[in-house]
Amino acid sequence: MARIVGIDLGTTNSLIAYMEGDAPRVIPGRHGRTLVPSVVAMTDNGLIVGDPAKEYLIRNPEHTIYSVKRFMGRGLADLAGELKYFPYILHEQGGVIRIQIGTKTYSPPQISAMILKELKLRAEEYLGEEIKKVVITVPAYFNDSQRQATKDAGMIAGLEVLRIVNEPTAASLAYGLQKRTQGTIAVYDLGGGTFDISILKLKNGIFEVLATNGNTHLGGDDFDRRVANLILKEVRDQYGLDREQYPDTLQAVRLEAERAKIRLSEDQKTTVAIELPARKGEYRREFTRDQLEALTMDLVEQTIGPCRLALKDAGLQPSEIDEVVLVGGSTRMPLVRQRVQELFGKVPHSELNPDEVVALGAAVQADILSGGTQDMLLLDVTPLSLGIETMGGVMSPLIRRNTTIPASAKEMFTTYVDGQTSVDIHVLQGERELAKDNRSLARFQLKVPPLPAGVPRVEVMFLIDANGILNVTAKDVRTSQSQSLEVKPSYGLSDEEVERMIGESFKFAAEDLKARQLIDARTEAEAILKATEKAFRLGGHLIS
């Protein structure tokens, strides 16, 4: 069987890994570095990716694209508060973000594909064989649009994406936690652009994801920005330099803020120095770890809420967690490790390089798919409920949130109007009781013969595969006529909307239930009235 490799397509850095015997290995570049910066630069000499491209962040920021993972499967409305941080032009077309570089425009999957091609080339040079099949990891809380965008990037790069694996789940595989006979594991994943928490149960080599939660709008980049914003304010106050006028200075500040954050994970203090060519001077100041923690304390706390929700969904207390795994470079921050330890009451694992652990796990999953590892099984979950709209605008879930995938479910529905010739199948995603409060994924119609209300029997079946791709089938049981479609949502989904769905399901639970009960009662009453009217119409003469 052809070799299958694992890829961690990250916001800040990307990696590619393979199995060497029984152990996963990250593939290094020509100079021994395993990390490929997720940066693409358009230069006069052509397109460059990785470390050489990162050099252009200051030299030519308008033509250098970074953090493209933040754009995957999203629209401009999702980035309203972030646009000022990007020196290149962003606009939207058909619900998809477009990145304009000179006279050309690129979609986020196109840019991600360039990074994937670089990783593919690295692996082919190192292994001496062509790479065609891959496993790619994504944040556990990535929605359908973002997962589809990731698969599209792989296709554009000439790769067959056999499986989309959640990053926290991959991390568990990398740590070899399958060697335990059983246990419960929490994986805390703070990456460059996203945060995820997953609770997994391990028994006899089977990894089952019990619950997942997160924030697709929070990552190491946001910590960098807190430092960068402070520096930019001081630069503006002291030198009169504005970020919009000097994008090269903005990028220099951003890079130095990132370096300062990294240094302060090891040291108590560091010096920040930035050359200001426009003023023929230099900005210099000392930063301490205490100052960094004061700037970012609230960001760390924003990761704790999703952890508590995931524990609640899994039906567990923090004390019932056996192992805690840290993933992502930002987990090197002492404050992050401290808060995680305080929450779970145990020291988290940190033996493996947090930058590499997801790629290593992706390689293990690739080995499972290729038949190399046969004593392990990975059972992931769907992050949001899936259902259809029924009479009165009610959401009827078929597959519930945190259901293990692959999964299928079917339910029988009928018509509510005499002589109805079609049934409208409206596919929804979310946690609210009413259809209007959930996200619309797709809509199609099934033709049915014109019969009295309640006579047609329409079976609706949902099938969601291991990648989280949904297939919906509706069948008229009497005629066996059916129609199905693969649900591929548009890229315009707001990340806040995804995260809000679960939050609002708690906040508005009582209100939603009352509204649903009212609609159910009204629908039932209308059906009784129609049946009574019909009975009078057909047999009224029998009543004396």
Could you list the active site residues? Answer: 8, 69, 167, 189
Would you say 407 and 382 are in contact if contact means Cβ atoms under 8 Å apart?
yes
Separation between Cα atoms, residue 13 and residue 357, nearest integer Å: 13
Phi and psi torsions of 132, nearest 5°: -120, -30
Q: Which of 129, 165, 130 is nearest to 8 (CA)?
A: 165
Would you say 457 and 476 are in contact if contact means Cβ atoms under 8 Å apart?
yes
Side-chain-side CA neighbours of 60 within 13 Å: the count stands at 16
Would you say 340 and 203 are in contact if contact means Cβ atoms under 8 Å apart?
no
Would you say 495 and 143 are in contact if contact means Cβ atoms under 8 Å apart?
yes
- Rounded to the nearest 10 degrees, the angle between the axes of helix 167-174 and helix 357-369 is 80
Which SS3 state, helix, strand or coil, does residue 364 take?
helix
Q: Chain-centre distance of CA 86, in angstroms?
A: 21
Which SS3 state, helix, strand or coil, does residue 524 take?
helix
Separation between Cα atoms, residue 139 and residue 274, nearest integer Å: 34
Would you say 276 and 249 are in contact if contact means Cβ atoms under 8 Å apart?
yes
Neighbouring C-beta atoms of residue 124, cutoff 10 Å: 14
Residue with tokens 């795994």, as numbered in its chain: 325
The torsion of the CA quartet 201, 350, 170, 37, rounded to 10 degrees, works out to 160
Q: Chain-centre distance of CA 267, in angstroms?
A: 32
- For residue 483, the cross-strand partners are 474
User: Mind giving me the DSSP string for 479-517?
Assistant: T--EEEEEE---S---HHHHHHHHHHHHHTHHHHHHHHH
Which SS3 state, helix, strand or coil, does residue 85 take?
helix
- Rounded to the nearest 10 degrees, the angle between the axes of helix 334-344 and helix 289-314 is 30
- Percentage helix, strand, coil, to 5, in the chain? 40, 35, 30
Between vectors from CA 170 to CA 312 and to CA 9, what angle results, nearest 5°? 115
Burial class (CB in 10 A: 0-12, 13-18, 19+), 381: buried
Sheet containing strand 470-476, edge to edge, reads 407-413, 458-464, 470-476, 482-487
Would you say 224 and 258 are in contact if contact means Cβ atoms under 8 Å apart?
yes
Q: Which of 140, 167, 89, 125 is nearest to 358 (CA)?
A: 167
Structure-block tokens of residue 144: 């359908």
Between vectors from CA 267 to CA 352 and to CA 301, what angle results, nearest 5°? 70
